[in-house]
Amino acid sequence: MQAKAISIVRAILLLGSAGLMLAACRPERDGAVDRLLMTEPEAIERSEADRATIRELEQDVDRYLDEVESTLRALGNLANAHRLLAMRLLDQRMYGPALEQFVHASEIQSENPTIFYYIGVSAGLHAQAATVAAEREARLDHAERAYRRALELRPRYTAAAYALSVLLAFELDRPEDALVYADRAVESQPRNDRAHAVRAYALATLGRVEEAVRAYDQVIEHAVDNETRDRARALQMELRSQ
């Protein structure tokens, strides 16, 4: 895989950044020439370019356009390979290597919210293995930034909102921030018992006991198993006894 990646990078270097822009837009021949004009040392409009310049760029388009498209497809395949390997590593609880592969995939598919979600998952789990406080903090920060990026790309991404609420509540001790994202998860999925549970925990931590009790009512109502329901009832009773 590494050799394949190197060969692709070499192809990109040969084609140049203008070629990648062409591939991303899949232009017709004239559109490709216009794109190349935009990347000249001093960007010029077609109407201002001399005929010799346009003729030279047209020849470059004819020479490289098919190769650019092929390189673009190869990059897409490489991103898929990184994602597949990352998921297999995650299944094997190899969180550090999984994180590395997801990051590689994000460098190619930079607006894929699911990749950033899994970067957050991997970084958060990898943080548990840190033996130095600074390393743990850095990995948790990486997880938070990844979840936030996933939500920027897909604002109603319930899994990312829930995961970020868990991270903020239980790992970073920021219940007020956690409540924001637990609320978002509940708004998207009103029957999500886990999101209601994080919401209840955050409210209780903030001293908003009555609201926390009501939040546990939602956990009890929507719990998918008896263990979750019984745990919610026990926590609710503790709050009521305060």
Mind spelling out the 3-state secondary structure of 32-54? HHHHHHHCCCCCCCHHHCCHHHH
The pair of three-digit structure tokens given for residue 49, joined into one six-digit string: 């370019």
* Model pLDDT for residues 48-92, shown as the tens digit of each residue: 657 777 777 778 777 777 887 888 899 999 999 999 999 999 999
Q: Which of 39, 112, 130, 119 is nearest to 87 (CA)?
A: 119
CA distances from 54 to 32, 33, 175, 232 (A): 11, 7, 60, 71
Which alpha helices (DSSP H) does 16-166 contain, by range? Answer: 17-25, 29-38, 51-91, 95-108, 113-127, 133-153, 158-166
Residue with tokens 């460098």: 107
The pair of three-digit structure tokens given for residue 219, joined into one six-digit string: 């956990």
Let me know the angle formed at the C-alpha of 91 by 180 and 194, rounded to the nearest 5 degrees.
30
Query: What is the pTM (predicted TM-score) of this model?
Result: 0.78
CB atoms within 10 A of CB 11: 16
Q: Which distant-in-sequence residues (6+ apart) come within 8 Å of 180 by Cβ?
A: 165
* Model pLDDT for residues 5-34, shown as the tens digit of each residue: 444 444 443 444 434 443 444 445 667 767
Q: Does domain 155-242 have CATH number 3.40.50.10140?
A: no
* Model pLDDT for residues 152-169, shown as the tens digit of each residue: 999 999 999 999 999 999
The residue ranges of every structural domain in the chain are 1-90, 93-150, 155-242
Residue with tokens 């020849």: 59
Radius of gyration of the chain (CA): 25
